[in-house]
Amino acid sequence: MYRNLCVEQEASILKKEIKICLPIYKLIYSMSFILILSFVRGIESVNEIGAVIQAPIALLAVIFCADTYLTEVQNHRAEIFHLYDTKRKSKVIIRRLMLQNIYLFGISLIGYGFFYLQRPIVLNGTPQGLLFFLFALAMIGTLLFWSILSMMICNLWKNMWAGIGTTLLLWIFCSSQFGAQIFGKWSVFSYTFRPIEYISDMGWLCGEMLSVALALLMVALVPVIIKKRG
C-alpha cells in the first residue's frame, strides 16, 4: 500500500514537472524549428545530416532550457520555491533539465529523419544505421552541455536574456571555424567539423566526451550556484 502511494506521488510530481518545463508554447516553437531547419538547410548526402543539425540544436537547447530555474520567478512561485532547502531545489532543477533533455533528444532524432525528405544520396554504401547511431551519440553530449550551461549562466545573471546573450556569444565562438581550429578534436562541436566522408574517423568523440564531463561537473555545481544565488 505504502509503495503504491509513493509511486502515485512520484507520478503526480513528474506530471506536474512536465507541465512546468514543457509548456505548449515550447513544444510548438521547438518542433517548428526542427521542421523549418530540415527545409532551409540543404544537403546532398546523408553524411551531412548530423553536421548541419548539431549546432542549431545546441542553440535550441540554450533557449529552451534558459528559464529552467528562473521560471519560478516568472510564474510567481518564487516565494514557495525559496522555502525548499538547497538539496530539494537542486533535485527539482536537475529533474527538469533531464526531462527537457529527453524531449530535445527525441525531436533531434525526428529532425534527423526530416532531412530524408530532401532525398540525399548515400555515399559509397555508407551504413545509414551507423550514421544515425553516431548522431544520437553526439547529441547526448551536445544537449547536456548547452542546456545545463544555459541554465547555469542565466541563474548566475538572474536574468534570462543576459544569460542567453552570454551563452550565445560562446556558441558563436565554438561553432565558428576559428573555434574549431583552436580546440580541434576537443571542440564541443567536434562532430560537426569531423571529416564526414571518413566514417571510421572517431576523433570527434574526444569533444563529445569532454561535453559530457563538463555537463556532469556543472550538475555537481548546481547546489553551490543555487545556494550562492538564492
pLDDT digit string, tens, across residues 38-95 = 999 889 999 999 999 999 999 999 999 988 876 665 555 655 566 667 788 888 888 9
- Statement: residue 216 has pLDDT above 70: yes
Q: What is the pLDDT of residue 9?
A: 62
- Tens of pLDDT, residue by residue over 87-138, are 888 888 889 999 999 999 999 999 999 999 999 888 777 788 999 999 999 9
pTM of full prediction above 0.85 = yes
Whether residue 174 is predicted with pLDDT greater than 70 in this model: the reply is: yes
Local confidence band at 178 (pLDDT 50, 70, 90 cut-offs): very high
Instruction: Convert the pLDDT of each residue in 191-208 to its tens digit.
Output: 999 988 888 888 999 999
Report DSSP letters for the chain, one per residue.
-HHHHHHHHHHHHHHHHHHHHS-HHHHHHHHHHHHHHHHHS--SBGGGHHHHHHHHHHHHHHHHHTTTTTHHHHTT-HHHHTTS-HHHHHHHHHHHHHHHHHHHHHHHHHHHHHGGGG--B-GGG--HHHHHHHHHHHHHHHHHHHHHHHHHHHHHHT-HHHHHHHHHHHHHHHTSHHHHHHHGGGSTTTTTTS-TT-TT--TTHHHHHHHHHHHHHHHHHHHHHHHHH-
